[in-house]
């Protein structure tokens, strides 16, 4: 599996104060949760990783073994799931996925496209919605369509930007279950501002105002927060400890 390495990254919009300054981070295999309050820089970081934005300084590289992937290789290895997947509202789910698959790889035959699309539909557990138009779907189902489109082309590293925002607890649980199933042969970096999402994954990164505050397991996250004698820190308290100042 691939390993994402961000080294001494600096980025700012125009003449504004830098959002990231000399920011470094390594994301390994499996599923990693990027936890941060709204406005902490999560979406900006994802746009930098995907190449939508260009850093002022520093590097972002994807490693498979000791060799970093070429920029052209990174485009095919990294997939992106937006916060709300709303492309082509008048198209059916199958039509949207077919179009995306063909656009990503024009060398594929119709048969190969169909095979990839049907596999993605099954993987995301959206078979009964395949003939439904996008505009008729709930937010949770649209997010699962987002998962399906992300695996077209078989990327090895998937980035999901706030995928559980707006979902109810049952929809979030189902979403996380699908992600865990997909992560058997690829890596995930998932951003969220919901501390409840930490319960589902082992690897956690916390950022605040463009600064790396914590990286480790959820158990280490809880243990990293000072506690009074005889008291037990909760995930919510650990979360507020690191990002509470952003709400001031």
Q: How confident is the model at residue 75 (pLDDT cuts 50, 70, 90)?
A: confident
Work out the angle between the directed axes of helices 110-123 and 169-182 (0-180°, nearest 10).
130
Is 133 or 242 the better-scoring residue by pLDDT?
A: 133
| Mean pLDDT across 233-238 | 88
Express each pLDDT in 191-233 by its tens digit: 999 989 998 998 999 999 899 999 999 999 999 988 765 578 8
SS3 209: coil
The terminus-to-terminus CA distance of the chain in angstroms comes to 40
Cα dihedral value 76, 79, 82, 88, nearest 10: 60
Q: How confident is the model at residue 23 (pLDDT cuts 50, 70, 90)?
A: very high
- Residue 74, pLDDT above cutoff 60: yes
- Residue 10, pLDDT above cutoff 60: yes
Burial class (CB within 10 angstroms; exposed 0-12, middle 13-18, buried 19+) of 226: exposed
Work out the angle between the directed axes of helices 169-182 and 139-150 (0-180°, nearest 10).
10
pTM of the model: 0.89
Residue 233 CA to residue 223 CA, distance in Å, equals 8
Residue 19 CA to residue 7 CA, distance in Å, equals 15
Q: How confident is the model at residue 132 (pLDDT cuts 50, 70, 90)?
A: very high
- Residue 245, pLDDT above cutoff 70: no
SS3 64: strand
Alpha helices in 78-152 (DSSP H): 93-104, 110-123, 139-150
Percentage of residues in the chain having pLDDT higher than 70: 96
Domains in the chain, please, with CATH?
A: 3-84+156-247 (3.40.50.300)
Residue 217 CA to residue 219 CA, distance in Å, equals 5
- List the single range of 112-116, 119-123, 242-246 with lowest mean pLDDT: 242-246
Express each pLDDT in 24-51 by its tens digit: 999 998 999 999 988 889 999 999 999 9
- List the single range of 2-16, 62-76, 139-153, 208-222 with lowest mean pLDDT: 62-76
Mean residue pLDDT across the chain: 90
Is 84 or 29 the better-scoring residue by pLDDT?
A: 29
DSSP character for 17? Answer: P
- Residue 105, pLDDT above cutoff 80: yes
For position 247, what pLDDT does the model report?
Answer: 47
CB 191 within 8 A of CB 46: yes
Residue 131 CA to residue 142 CA, distance in Å, equals 13
Helix (H) or strand (E) holding 203: strand 203-208
Q: How confident is the model at residue 2 (pLDDT cuts 50, 70, 90)?
A: confident
């Amino acid at each position: 599996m691939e390993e994402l390495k961000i080294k001494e990254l600096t980025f700012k919009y125009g003449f504004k104060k830098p959002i990231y300054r000399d920011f470094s981070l390594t994301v390994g295999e499996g599923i990693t949760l990027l936890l941060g309050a709204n406005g902490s820089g999560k979406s900006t970081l994802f746009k930098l990783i995907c190449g939508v934005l260009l850093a002022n300084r520093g590097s972002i590289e994807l490693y498979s073994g000791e060799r970093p992937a070429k920029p052209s290789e990174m485009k095919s290895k990294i997939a992106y799931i937006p916060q709300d997947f709303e492309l082509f509202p008048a198209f059916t789910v199958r039509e949207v996925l077919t179009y995306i698959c063909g656009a990503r790889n024009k060398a594929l035959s119709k048969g190969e496209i169909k095979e990839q699309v049907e596999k993605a539909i099954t993987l995301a557990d959206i078979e009964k919605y395949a003939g439904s138009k996008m505009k008729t779907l709930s937010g949770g189902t649209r997010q699962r369509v987002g998962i399906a489109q992300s695996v077209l082309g078989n990327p090895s590293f998937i980035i999901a930007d706030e995928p559980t925002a707006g979902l109810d607890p049952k929809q979030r649980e189902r979403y996380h279950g699908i992600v865990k199933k997909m992560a058997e042969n690829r890596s995930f970096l998932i951003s969220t501002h919901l501390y409840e999402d930490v319960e589902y994954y082992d690897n956690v990164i916390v950022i605040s105002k463009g600064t790396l505050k914590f990286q480790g397991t959820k158990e280490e996250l809880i243990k990293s927060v000072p506690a009074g004698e005889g008291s037990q820190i909760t995930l919510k308290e650990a979360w507020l400890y690191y990002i509470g100042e952003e709400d001031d």
